[in-house]
Structure 1
Amino acid sequence: MSGDDRQQLSLLQRGEHHARPGQVRVLTLNVQHANPARSRRQAEWLAVQDADVVVLTEVTPGAHAITQALGEHEFTVHLGDGGSDYLTVVASRIGNQEPAPEIHPGYLPHRCAAIRLHLDDGSSVGVVGLYVPSRGPQERRNVDKRLFQDAVAEMLPALADDLAVTGPVVIAGDLNVVEPGHKPHHTVFGAWEYTFYRAFDAAGYGDAFRHHHPDLDDHSWYGRRSGAGYRFDHLFCSPVGAIADCCYVHEPRTSGLSDHAAMTATITLPTGTL
């Protein structure tokens, strides 16, 4: 462990958090519709992670417990607007957060939350959180999922221009889709779902995990009956070369905080902005 890492760990253990020059650390976690008590435990866990920005998905309507708990740990919180089902939350504890409510898909917009994060060095990054619906009940099998995915895919090509930040743009969350060639192969996914995954690359957003781990099989959620793994949680970045590292953190899943693993990545800023 380097001297900088030891100093940061000491700060986190004392409940303090400071930015690292030239870097933004992002974490995403599906909170599994947590009740107020589990939301507080999740916020406590997030507070001691080495993350500047967190993207939370499957947040219960209203989100009062998690937003209050994150605020107590010095996060500034932005959440998707309205909606009677699950919300997406983006929270930050460095820089100056500017919500970007104009960034939203044309269907179920509350499942998207976007911010511009203005940093102390004068640079800015865009962070967009997404929560794609699951397959849904039999009477609406894949209806909401497909409509939301189509709406997101439609907004991706203009996203960077609409955010107009000086640094990278990050898109993170539970997309409820796996990549083509996923191991194990799951026959339940259709060609239209792989088309959605490919839409990110087509719009200039690279898969951060796959960029750093071309051959590694890791999963963020496991089937309750089958035990089979799914890489549902993703982080995409433009440019993908700005990703310094990316991995899954399984502690939330193995400890019972959620049924999903978290995902973390470090984003490097262009040297010209420092």
Structure 2
Amino acid sequence: MLSVLTLNVQAAALPRARRLLAWLDARDDNLIILTETSNGPGTAYLLEQCRAAGLDVTHTPSPDGDRGCAIVSRLPTTARPDLLAGVTLPGRAVAVTVNTESAITVLGLYVPSSDRAPAKVAKKRAFLTSVIDGLRGLTEGQRAHLIVGGDYNVISRNHRPRYPGFLSFEYEFLDALEQLDLADAHQRLHPTTQAHSWIGRGGNGYRFDYLHTGAALTPHLASCDYLHQPRDRQLSDHAAVAATLRLTVDHRTAVSAPLAEAAALS
């Protein structure tokens, strides 16, 4: 089985990053997409400890200090900057190809949020457009073996509750993924369940975090769930999303070293 997890780490400061590391270590996922990374010591600590344990880490810090995205893998990976050539905010997207039985490419995204200020709306629209343009530029076979995940900062048209002020281009992002045969993993397995991954101050929940799978991978989906322990334990203000796929993993190439041990040795 191949296990994939995405979690918004909320630009964790060092004390919370240490606790996040322990939670991630207890799960032992093959692939982890971390969103809302930062250029601060908390993100540096998380990624350094993963590298020290022998995991593959792909992360390009934003030169302007913007928040970003990283992929951590217990399986050997090859970075794919070529897939991000047209992305407007390259620090918020990361791509790797995983050396599984048949090569799988993983694209992690941290989409900008927007409070309706014109500059923020334009930033978000341009990023979403550039991501979809990049996906359309892939061959059908490449998209079929693609996993996309992260904090998209969008909701579906039929989301309950509604989110006031959402614009058409924000809803269209999920529509475009579906049109490209990238299936919403949780919706595919739980079509009648309204999941939430972030709870606002007023108590309303919204599903901002996702995992999508290409046409060759979707039939192998075994599970996809929202894990609220990170929120409940105040490790993040987001739930994690975890999925498993019935795919062969060569455990001879997988790193099994515990991250907590690497932390204890630091």
Identity of aligned residues (%): 34
Aligned equivalent of 1:43: 21
1:126 and 1:145 map into 2 onto residues whose CA distance is 24
Q: Is the 8 A contact 1:168 1:242 kept in 2?
A: no
Which of 219, 231, 237 does residue 213 from structure 2 map onto?
237
2:95 alignment partner in structure 1: 114
CA–CA separation in structure 1 for the residues paired with 2:195 and 2:9? 19
* Residue 205 of structure 2 corresponds to residue 264 of structure 1: no
1:99 aligns to 2:76 (yes or no)? no
What amino acid maps onto 2:129 in structure 1? Answer: D
Q: Give the TM-score normalised by structure 1.
A: 0.82
User: Unpaired runs of 5+ in structure 1?
Assistant: 1-22
The size of the alignment, in residue pairs, is 243
Residue 191 (structure 1) aligned with residue 168 (structure 2): yes
Matches within 5 A, 1:61-76: 61=39, 63-76=43-56
- Is 1:138 the counterpart of 2:117 in the alignment? yes
Distance 1:72 1:41, change over 3 A: farther
1:85 is aligned to 2:66: yes
Higher relative contact order (CA 8 A, sep 6+): 2
Deviates more, 1:258-267 or 1:35-44: 35-44
Question: TM-score, normalised on structure 2?
Answer: 0.85
Q: 1:227 Cα deviation (Å)?
A: 1.1
Could you list the per-position Cα deviations for residues 159-218 of structure 1 after superposition, in whole angstroms to 9, with x for gaps in the alignment? 456x959x7310000000001100111222111111111110111101001000001122
For residues 209 and 126 of structure 1, the distance between their equivalents in structure 2, rounded to whole angstroms, comes to 19
Q: Are the counterparts in 2 of residues 32 and 259 from structure 1 also a CA contact under 8 Å?
A: yes
Where does structure 2 lack aligned partners over 5 or more consecutive residues?
249-266
Partner Cα distance (2:48, 2:61) in 1: 17
Deviation at 1:110, TM superposition (A): 1.1
**Which SS does the other structure have where 1:236 is aligned?**
strand
Contact 1:113 1:129 in 2 (8 A): yes
Q: 2: CA distance between counterparts of 1:56 and 1:24?
A: 17
Query: Runs (4+) of structure 1 moved beyond 6 Å?
Result: none
